Amino acid sequence: MHTIKHLYHIDSSQSKVFDAVTSVEGLTSWWTTETSGSSEVNSFLEFRFGERWYNKMKVVQLKKDEYVEWECIEGASDWIGTRISFFLDQNENKTRVRFAHSLWMDNGDFFAICNFTWGRYLQSLRNYCQTGEGAPFGSPQFKI
């Protein structure tokens, strides 16, 4: 099994970052404008990226202001069964984000593309939390 990992800091409160990665309003502000669902444990979130990509996640773990973990149950075949997690803590007056997209069966080209793309979206998350303006898919700010 393979894992995409990113570790970085956001100059914002842990609570604000948590809301950004768990609320539909937050997720639409940095990942994709086409987000729906609920972030309660055993609930589902759906993410659309135009006509081409779709992911449905089950919320499997959640602890307010500390972590959330999703399991992909629908979407790209390489994503099904993978888990996406955000672990948050304080470090030097910033929020440290430990991101992982785990349980990949293959680490080929699609894995590499997703790793690169996650880095781009995580920068959008940082910008949203620090300035109020992210660059989610579907927004005028989005650039590949």
Confidence of residue 104 (pLDDT cuts 50, 70, 90): very high
Q: Can you tell me the distance from the alpha carbon of 132 to that of 3, in angstroms, rounded to the nearest whole number? A: 29
Instruction: Give 33's DSSP letter.
Output: S
Mean pLDDT for the stretch of residues 19-31: 97
Sorted by sequence, the CB contacts under 8 Å of residue 80 that are 6+ apart come out as 72, 73, 74
For residue 143, pLDDT beyond 80: no
Among 26, 60, 55, CA closest to 43: 60
Is-contact 60 83, C-beta < 8 A?
Answer: yes
pLDDT for the residue numbered 107: 93
Domain boundaries, the chain: 2-131
CATH topology of domain 2-131: Alpha-D-Glucose-1,6-Bisphosphate; Chain A, domain 4 (3.30.530)
pTM of the model: 0.93
Mean pLDDT for the stretch of residues 57-81: 97
